[in-house]
Amino acid sequence: MNEPERDIGQEILDAVIEIKSRRLDSALLEDFMGRFYGYGNYLGDYWFVGMEEGGGNSFAGIERRLNTWKERGGRELEDVAEYHLAIGVTSLFSERPKIQPSWGKLIRVILAMKGYSPTVNQIRDYQRDCLGRMDGDTCLLELLPLPSPSTRHWIYGDYSELPYLADRDTYRRTLRDGRIKHLQQRIKQYRPKVVLFYSFSYREQWQTISGVDFSPIDEGKFYVGSNGTSVFVMTMHPAATGLSNDYWHRVGHVIASKLNAQT
């Protein structure tokens, strides 16, 4: 006997119901949003602060990130290589790693600051061995805690029962001020040599966190300020179109000159 024909419409409905039945653990999600700030070492000299981490393309991917973070101790700062390897991202930390586009630009700043003309191999080595490590010299921090592939994507409303995750704007308004205060406190506590904020879209928040006046460099291509202890920089986002590697080298050279002037 032949099997009855399958109702495609019912299959679609069943798939939607299955998606809607999946929910992220609310307690774990709130713990993560309240306590996770990024990767690296607060005692490091060089801090980079962005809007939010990339990723978070699927329910499974987000759940894996949350569970791995909890299993590894729920730290405020993670080791970027160890954490990514634990969630199955190996290509960025192999013997010959794929250069992550945003990280690659930030690494150019660090190497230029140290007097190098960075080569691709130097960038690969730094990403694999040094960037965002818990015993290293850098911090990779985020203003907002949840990973997302872009500002146009927001899937947390589908997978969370937390009302403030219904949409991106509500999420941003709910968490922004508390995380700004926390970053301010950490900067005052650890006094890093350099704090580089990237993305002009969040210029107001970077100004609030730093508490300094910024001066334009190269007719506003980036901005620099100082409180006498830390040099603060605002740059375009590493993913912005039309930026050459020389832009990031120039940022590094200006930072080096500011640091020399403070010593």
Amino acid identity, residue 70? K
pLDDT at residue 3 is higher than 70: no
pTM, two decimal places: 0.91
Phi and psi torsions of 183, nearest 5°: -65, -40
pLDDT digits (tens, 9 = 90+) for 153-191: 999 999 999 999 999 999 999 999 999 999 999 999 999
How far is Cα 118 from Cα 107, in angstroms, rounded to an integer?
9
What is the average pLDDT across 79-86?
98
Q: 28 pLDDT band (50/70/90 cuts)?
A: very high
The secondary structure of residue 202, as a DSSP letter, is G
Domains and CATH numbers, the chain: 38-262 (3.40.470)
| Mean per-residue pLDDT over the chain, rounded | 93
For the sheet with 77-78, list strands across it.
77-78, 38-40, 138-142, 46-50, 194-198, 231-235, 222-226, 215-217
Q: Is the pLDDT score of 199 beyond 90?
A: yes
- Give percent of the chain above pLDDT 70: 92
Q: Do 135 and 43 touch, CB atoms closer than 8 A?
A: no
Q: How confident is the model at residue 73 (pLDDT cuts 50, 70, 90)?
A: very high
At residue 138, the pLDDT reads 98
Question: What one-letter code names the amino acid at 136?
Answer: G
Provide the 3-class DSSP secondary structure of residue 142. Answer: strand
Alpha helices in the chain (DSSP H): 8-21, 26-35, 59-71, 80-86, 101-113, 120-129, 156-159, 168-190, 203-210, 245-262
Q: Are 41 and 138 in contact (CB under 8 A)?
A: yes
Mean pLDDT on 207-218:
97
Q: Measure the CA–CA gap between 92 and 55, rounded to whole angstroms.
A: 14
Could you tell me which residue, 77 or 149, shows the higher pLDDT?
77
Position 150 scores a pLDDT of 87
- The confidence score (pLDDT) of residue 262 equals 83
